[in-house]
Structure 1
Amino acid sequence: MGLAGGPSVLPATAGTPAADAPVAALPSGPDAAALRAVIDAVRDPATARATAALVRVGGGGQWRGSAGVHDLRTGRPADPAGRFRAGSVTKVFTAATVLQLAAERRIDLDRTARYYLPELIPAAYEAVTVRQLLNHTSGIPAPDFEGDDVDDWYENRFDLHDPRDMVRSATSKPREFPPGEQQHYLNIGYTIAGLLIERVTGDTYENQVARRILRPLALRDTSYPGSDPRIHGRHNHGYQVFASADGGEELRDVSVWGATDAWAAGDLISTTADLERFTRALFGGRVVRGPLLEEMFTLPQLKKGTASHSVGMSRWRLGGREVWGKTGGRWGYNSGMGGTRDLSRTLAYSVNSTDAKGQDANPVVMDIIVATFGAPDGR
C-alpha cells in the first residue's frame, strides 16, 4: 500500500468461494489466554515493535484487554479508552457516506467521477466511475509528496495538503491501467470521493460523516482533526523508529503529526469502543441499508489479478471463514476493525507500532488477528 496508504497486514485472498464451501465454526468465545499473551508482548517494545495495544473482541463472547504504556517517559499503563489515529479505517466511513448518498439518488455509482467534478477530473480519466474510485480499480496513480522515507515525512509532518492539489498531481500522470481491469490499493480514490461528497451536498465532508454516522451512532470519541496535528483528549503516545546519529536506532514521539495528506482516505481519530460499535451497526444494516450494503461485501471482477478490496473494506480468509473489515496505519499507530458477516466474531484494535508504516506487518497486529479469527487459510 505504500507510505501514503499504510501497510497491508494480511495477504490478499482469492476470489469469492463457491456457495457450498465449508465454513469453520467459531469457538464459543475468544481465546482469552492467547489474546493476553499476544498483547503482553508490548512489554518489550524492541521485540514487539510496539509500545501499547488495545483490543476489543465481540460477538459470541467478549474480551477486552490493554497492555503497554501511555508514554515512554512516565511508563504509566496504557489507557484502554485512549483515542488513536485510525488511518485507512477512515475509508469505511467515507464509503458508507457515499452509499447513503447513492440511496438518496444524489450519487450514481455507475456515473463517472468527471460527471460530478468536471473541472478537476481530466479527459484522460473520463471513464472512471464512482464505484471504481471506491474499490480501487480506477487506475489513477498516487499523487506526489515531498520525500519518500520516514525522515522526509517527519521533516514535513506539519505540511498542509489540499485535496484538490493532490487530485491534480495524481491525474496529471498516465493511468496505471484501464479502469476496472485491475486493483491497486491507494488513497487517491477516497480523496476524490471526499470531494464528491462535498460537491453533491454543498457541505463539508467532515460535517456529512458526522451528521450521517458519528452522531446517530453516538461515536463521541471519533472525530476528524482537519489541519490540527494533535490528538485531543485521552490518548496513548505513538512512537516511530528512526536511524540515530551513531548508526543505531532511536524512538521519537510522533503523536503530534498532521494528517491532511490522507483526509477522506485516512485522517480519522477514534477508539476501539467506537470502532466496535460502528462495525456492529454497519454489518447489521443500520448505516447503509438495503442492496447498497452488498457493495461493501462484494469483490470486483478483474481482467488481471485477484481482488481483495470491496467498496470501503477488504476481505480475508482466516481460520476457514470470511472476515471483512479494514486496517489502517499512521505514523506511530496501527488499527483495525472488522468481523464475520454474521457478527459472530468482531475485532477492533489499536497497536502503537513503532514501524506502523513499514512494508511488513507488525508482529503484534498479526498475532491479534490470528488469535481472534485463526491463521490465514493456506498457512
Structure 2
Amino acid sequence: MTKTPYAAPATARPARWTTLVLTGAALASVTVGAVLPASAAEPHAAPVTGTVRGHHPVDTAALTALMEPGPMASGTLVRVGGTGPTWTRATGPLSQDPAANFRIGSITKLFTSTLVLQLVGEDRFTLATPVQELLPGTLPAHWKPITVGQLLSHTSGIQEPCVAFGPGEAPTPAQVVAHWTDPRCAAPRYPVRAQQYNGVNHFLLGMVVEKVTGRSYADEVQRRIARPLGLRHTYSPKPGDRSVPGPVLADGDEIEPWAWAEGGMVSNAPDLERFMTHLMRGRLLRPAQQRELFAMPALSEGAVDRFSAGGLLRSEIDGTVVWGKTGSMGRSTSGVFATEGGRRTVVYSLLPASRDRELTRRHLMSLVGAAL
C-alpha cells in the first residue's frame, strides 16, 4: 500500500550555526563575517564575537582573517547558522550577495538520498531491494544483486569506469551507467569489504526515483523538497543547461558535463542551510528512515570518508560530530554540514589556491578551531 508522500510544511521555520569540514578529495570551509539581518549583506562590517546556544563563542575575527584570499584559497563564501545569530561573508572574486547561486556538485547526492529514503518510507521498496528488480536490464546479468541500501551507503562494490566521456559531453543517466558497466571494465569486487565513494551509485538511485514515481528526477526534487521547504533557488537543471541564474557566486567556472542526480543541482547558501536544518531535525523523513540517516555501517570503519546508511558524510572535529556533504564543480569546492539536531549549520564555497590536500586540511582545522 502506497503511503502519502512525507514532506515538511512550507511554513516550517529553519535553524542555523557555525563550523567547517574537510573530507577526502573535497574540502569544507567554515567562516564567518559580520552579523547580518536575513535580508541584507554587510560583507565589510567589523567582525564581532558571538555565541550560539549550547556552544563556545565563535571568534569571527579569527575566522575572517583565515578566509582572506591567500595561498590556501583565492575566495571563500561562508554562511553560519543555528539557534543563535547568523553570519555570512564572502571574500575574493566571489559575489558579495549572500544569496548568490552556484552549482552545488555532489551535495546533490543528499537530495537524491532524501528522495530515496522518502520512497522507502512509503513502502515503494526497501533498502534490501535489489536495484536489478527496480531497473531490470540496467546492470549486467552476471552481476550479483546490488541493493538500494548498498548504493546509498557506497558499499555497492562498483568500480570506477575504465573509459572516459569526451570533453563537453552530457550523457544520459542510462549512458552513464552503461559506461560504468562496460564489459571492458572491472566488475564489482565481492565480497565488498569497505565503503568506496562512487558517483554511479546516485545515478542509479536517480533512475530508481524516476522509475518508481513515474516523474522526472527534477520534478520530484521540486515536489518533495524544494516547494514544501520554500527553496526558491534550488533545482535540477535540464540536460545541457549549464547556465546559473543571477546573482551567480563565481563567474568564469568551467562547468563540467551535466551530472544530474549525482552532482548537477543549483542552489544557494540560504536554501542549503534550510534544507540541512529540516533534514537533521527529521522534518523530511519518517522516524525509521531518519534513524537510517545516521546509522553507520560496519564497513564504514577505517574508511577515509565515512558515510551513513542514508548517505550522510560523518566527520568528527575536536570532539564534535558533524554531518553533511561536500561537492565540487568547476573551480569551486562547496559543502554543507550540521551538528546533531541542526543546532549549528555551515554552508561554504571555496576557490582552492593550493593543490596540497594536507595543507588544505590544516587550514580547515584552523578555521574549525576558531569556530568551535
TM-score, length basis structure 1: 0.77
Give, as a single letter, the amino acid of the residue that structure 1 aligns with 2:206.
Answer: G
Give the aligned partner of residue 62 of structure 1.
Answer: 85
Name which of 176, 180, 202 aligns with 1:170: 180
Name which of 135, 139, 156 aligns with 2:157: 139
How many equivalent residue pairs? Answer: 321
Distance 1:129 1:26, change over 3 A: same
Give, as a single letter, the amino acid of the residue that structure 1 aligns with 2:181.
Answer: T
Give the aligned partner of residue 102 of structure 1.
Answer: 120
1:187 correspondence with 2:203: no
The whole-number CA distance in structure 2 between the counterparts of 1:104 and 1:351 is 38
Give the aligned partner of residue 247 of structure 1.
Answer: none
Give, as a single letter, the amino acid of the residue that structure 2 aligns with 1:233.
Answer: G
Give the aligned partner of residue 280 of structure 1.
Answer: 277
TM-score, length basis structure 2: 0.78
What displacement does 1:37 show? 1.4
What displacement does 1:288 show? 1.2
The whole-number CA distance in structure 1 between the counterparts of 2:300 and 2:343 is 34
Per-residue CA deviations over 1:22-64 (Å, capped at 9, x if unaligned) read xxx963442212221122x22x4xx2332x3221212243342
- Say whether the 8 Å CA contact 1:225–1:269 is kept in structure 2: yes
Give the aligned partner of residue 140 of structure 2.
Answer: 122
What displacement does 1:360 show? 6.0
Give, as a single letter, the amino acid of the residue that structure 2 aligns with 1:137.
Answer: T
Per-residue CA deviations over 1:217-261 (Å, capped at 9, x if unaligned) read 0111112223211212211225xxxxxxxxxxxxxx32x52441x
Structure 1: give runs of 5+ residues left out of the alignment: 11-24, 72-76, 148-152, 239-252, 375-379
What RMSD in Å do the two structures reach over aligned CA positions?
Answer: 2.8
The whole-number CA distance in structure 1 between the counterparts of 2:198 and 2:363 is 21
Name which of 110, 115, 121 aligns with 1:92: 110
The whole-number CA distance in structure 2 between the counterparts of 1:207 and 1:361 is 41
Identity of aligned residues (%): 34
Give the aligned partner of residue 59 of structure 2.
Answer: 31
Give, as a single letter, the amino acid of the residue that structure 1 aligns with 2:174.
Answer: R
- Equivalent position SS for 1:316: strand
Give the aligned partner of residue 236 of structure 1.
Answer: 249
- Say whether the 8 Å CA contact 2:78–2:90 is kept in structure 1: no
- Say whether the 8 Å CA contact 2:118–2:285 is kept in structure 1: yes
Per-residue CA deviations over 1:317-373 (Å, capped at 9, x if unaligned) read 1111211111111112211111111323211112233569x8667469725861466
- Say whether the 8 Å CA contact 2:26–2:333 is kept in structure 1: no
1:254-273 alignment, distance < 5 Å: 254=253, 256-260=254-258, 262-273=259-270
The whole-number CA distance in structure 2 between the counterparts of 1:302 and 1:312 is 13
Give, as a single letter, the amino acid of the residue that structure 1 aligns with 2:225.
Answer: I
What displacement does 1:201 show? 0.8
The whole-number CA distance in structure 2 between the counterparts of 1:361 and 1:206 is 37
- Equivalent position SS for 1:347: strand
The whole-number CA distance in structure 1 between the counterparts of 2:64 and 2:278 is 27
The whole-number CA distance in structure 2 between the counterparts of 1:233 and 1:368 is 32
- Say whether the 8 Å CA contact 2:117–2:289 is kept in structure 1: yes
Give the aligned partner of residue 322 of structure 1.
Answer: 321
The whole-number CA distance in structure 1 between the counterparts of 2:181 and 2:163 is 14
The whole-number CA distance in structure 1 between the counterparts of 2:199 and 2:256 is 16
The whole-number CA distance in structure 1 between the counterparts of 2:117 and 2:347 is 23
Q: In terms of mean alpha carbon deviation, does 28-37 or 311-320 score higher? A: 28-37
The whole-number CA distance in structure 1 between the counterparts of 2:359 and 2:214 is 39
- Equivalent position SS for 2:198: coil
What displacement does 1:296 show? 1.5
The whole-number CA distance in structure 2 between the counterparts of 1:371 and 1:268 is 31
What displacement does 1:289 show? 2.0
